[in-house]
Chains A and B, each alone.
Chain A
Amino acid sequence: MSAAPAILLDELQFRWPGQAGLCLDIPRLEIAAGETVFLHGPSGSGKSTLLGILGGVAVPQRGRVCVLGNELTQMNSGARDRLRATHIGFLFQQFNLLPWLSAIDNVLLPCTFSPARKARATGLAGASHGVRAEAERLLSQLDLTSSHWLKPAAELSVGQQQRVAAARALIGRPEIVIADEPTSALDAERQQIFIDLLLREVGASSANSPVGADKTALVFVSHDQRLAAHFDRTVDLCEINRAVQTEARMGPA
C-alpha cells in the first residue's frame, strides 16, 4: 500500500471572520510521510493560522486539507479532535507544559486523551513495561536524567522544559510532529543541540519502523532561515501563500 501523504493542502482558502482579505490562499502543499520540512515564514505570513488548520481547530472556507488521507473539512469537530490527539504531536514555542504536573506526566498527557496513542506507546515499550517506560525512554533519549522526571514542570529550566515538550510531542510515535518556533528561546549553540536531538528521535522512529508502517513527518516552523540546512526540504510560506503576495503587490509602493 502506498502511504498517503502526511499532509496535503489543495486550493486552500481561509479568511478570519470579520476580516476583508484572505489570510491563507495556498494552491498546493504536499508533505510526504517521513519527510522533514522546514516551514519558513515571517510573522504575518499566516503561520499560526496554517498550524490551526492542520490541527483541525480552524476550518478553511474553501479547498481540501488532508491529514494522513483524512479530509479534515469533511469531519466533525470531535473526529478532528481525535485525529489530532492520535496522529499529531505538537511542540509549541512556549512549550505549553502544565506547570503543576510532573515532567513525566506532562509527557504522558497525549495518551490520556487518545487510547490509540497510548496503545502505540505501550507497544513501543513492550507489553511488560507499559506506557510509563516509554515516556522514561524518550526523556532519557532527550538527555533528561531521571532525577528530573518527577519534578513539576515549573521547576525545570527552559532547556529541560523544551525537552519535556519534545518528548510529549513524540510519545506514541505520531505520524506527524509539528514544531512551532521551538528554539526561539535558546541561544545558537543550544538550538543546534536541540534540533539534532529532535531530528534523531524523528529519524529513529522512521528507521525503526517496520517496512510499510507509518513514518514520522516533521514540520518545523521558524523565521530563522539559518536552521533550514538540517531538513529535507524548505518551504517558504510567503512563496506558496498567494494572500501574502497579493497584499505585497497591493501594499504601499
Chain B
Amino acid sequence: MSPAPLLRLAARSAWARRLTLGVTLVAIMLSTALLLCVERVRTDARQSFTQSVSGVDLVVGARTGSVQLMLYAVFHAGAASNNIDWKSFEILATHPAVEWALPLSLGDSHRGFAVLGTTPEYFTHFSYGEHQTLAFRAGAPFANVFDTVIGSEAAAKLSYKIGDKITLSHGIGSANLLEHGDKPFQVVGILEPTGTPVDRTIHVSLEAITALHLDWFAGAPVKGVAIPQDLVSKFDLKPKEITAALVGLKRRSDVFRMQRFVNEFRGEPLLGVLPGVALDELWQTIGLVERTLFAVSVLVIIVGLAGLVATMLASLNERRRELAILRALGAGPADIFLMLAAEGLLVTTLGATLGAAMLTLISAIFAPWLLEHLGVLLVPRVLSIAELYLLGGVIITGMLASLVPGWRAWRMSLADGLTPRS
C-alpha cells in the first residue's frame, strides 16, 4: 500500500495536536541550540587556545620545561628562570634555515598587564588562529623608543586611546611594584581583538626595555643615578639579554633539525619547543575546562531529551484513543509505526534545524561580544562536520524517544481492544 494516505492522516493528526507539538518543537529547538552552543564554545575555546600562536615554528627559551616556556613566552604568565644571551639570539636569527626570528623580552608590567619588549617585525610575523596576522584598530607599530602598542582587552579595560601617556612597573603582579615613573610611554597603536594573550599585552620596543633599566641594577634603581628620558638615546640600547624568541623557518620540514640545533646549542643551555604540540599538551593539563563543558553538553542532551519524552508522554492520553480507533479500523502495527515515526522525524528534524539556525543567528550576533569579553574566538561558520554528526544524533535520539511513547501507546491500544474508552 502506498504510504501517502497514511502520511496525510499523520499530518492531520499532528495538526490537530499542534499546540502540544509546538511545545515539543520549541523544547527540541532550545536544547539543540544549547547543545550546539556549548559544543561550539568548547571546540572554539580549545581552538583559540591551541592556536594562540600559529605560523611560529619554534619557541626558544632558556632550558626549562616546555610547558613553562610556553606559559611565559606565549601567555606571559610566570617568570623565566633564565634569559637568553643576545649573542645566542643573533646566531639563531642568522641561521640559514631561519626566515625570521622575533626576540621577546618580558618582566615588566602595567597595571596587571604584561609588558612585552620586541621588534616592530612582531606585528608582521606574529600570527594566530588560521594564520591571521595582527591588525591595528587604531594607530601603527611603534617607531620611537618610548612608543607602545597595546592589546584590545588592555585598551578596553584601562580605557586608553592613541596619544595617552602610561608608565610601566618593574616586575609582574600588583603589590608594591617599583614604577618606571620617570620614563612614560605614549600609546601609538591599539590592536584588534584576537582571543589570544596578545589582547592583554602592552607591546614596547626592545630598546625601551633596555632604556628603562639603564639606571637600574639588580632589580632596583641605583641611588643617585637618574638618566633623564631625553638622554637615553645617547646610550647603546642594544639588549644584552632577552627572555625568549619566536622563530619562523623557511621550510617547515626543517623544524626538527632546527629543534635539535637549539637543544644542542653550544653557547648556553636552550630549549626549542614546537608551539602546536606544547599548547595541546598545556590544554590537556588545564583540560578541566573542557571536561566541564563536555559534562554540561551531556547534561544538556539528557535534559533536552527528557523534556522531549515528557511532552510526548503527556500527549499520549490524547493519542491513546486515536490509536485505538485506528487499530480497530484495521491499522496494523506497521501503519501505526509509520505514522508515529513520521511525526517524530518531522518534529525532531524541524526542531533540530530551527535550533541550528537559531544558534547560527545568535552566534553571529554575539561573536564580537564573546571575543571582547571572554576572549573566545567563535569562528563564523554554518555547521561543521562534527556539528552535523551531533545534529544527526539529536534527530535519531529524538526519533527513538518519540517511538517509546508510541510503542506504549500501541500496547495500550491493543489492551483497549475494540472498545476504546473515551
**Chain-A contact segment, one of B5-13, B91-99, B145-153, B170-178:** B5-13
Chain A interface size range: 20 to 34
| B419 lies within 8 A of chain A by Cβ | yes
B3 to chain A, nearest CB (A): 10
The answer to whether A112 touches B6 (Cβ under 8 A) is: yes
| B414 lies within 8 A of chain A by Cβ | yes
The answer to whether A110 touches B419 (Cβ under 8 A) is: no
By CB atoms of chain A within 10 A, which of B13, B330, B419 has the most? Answer: B330
| B366 lies within 8 A of chain A by Cβ | no
Nearest chain B residue, comparing its CB with the CB of A54: B418
Please judge, given known A-B contacts A81-B332, A110-B330, A113-B329, whether A100 and B414 are in contact too, CB under 8 Å: no
Which of A58, A77, A112 touches B5 (beta carbons < 8 Å)? A112
| A146 lies within 8 A of chain B by Cβ | no
| B328 lies within 8 A of chain A by Cβ | yes
By CB atoms of chain A within 10 A, which of B6, B321, B332, B414 has the most? Answer: B332
The answer to whether B13 touches A98 (Cβ under 8 A) is: yes
Nearest chain A residue, comparing its CB with the CB of B413: A57
How many CB-defined contacts (below 8 Å) exist between A and B? 83
The answer to whether A96 touches B328 (Cβ under 8 A) is: yes
A151 to chain B, nearest CB (A): 14
The answer to whether A82 touches B330 (Cβ under 8 A) is: yes
Nearest chain B residue, comparing its CB with the CB of A89: B329
Q: Digitize B98-110: 1 where CB-to-A-CB distance is under 8 Å, 0 elsewhere.
A: 0000000000000
| A231 lies within 8 A of chain B by Cβ | no
The answer to whether B1 touches A115 (Cβ under 8 A) is: yes
| B218 lies within 8 A of chain A by Cβ | no
6 A-B pairs with the lowest CB-CB distances in the bound complex, closest first: A85-B330, A100-B16, A113-B330, A81-B332, A52-B417, A55-B418
Cβ contacts A to B, 24 pairs, < 8 Å: A51-B417, A51-B418, A51-B419, A52-B418, A55-B328, A57-B328, A57-B414, A57-B418, A81-B331, A85-B329, A85-B330, A90-B418, A92-B328, A94-B421, A96-B324, A98-B13, A105-B12, A109-B329, A110-B329, A112-B5, A113-B329, A113-B331, A168-B329, A180-B418
Chain A interface (Cβ within 8 Å of chain B)?
A: 48, 51-52, 55, 57-58, 77-78, 81-82, 84-86, 90, 92-94, 96-101, 105, 109-110, 112-115, 117, 168, 180
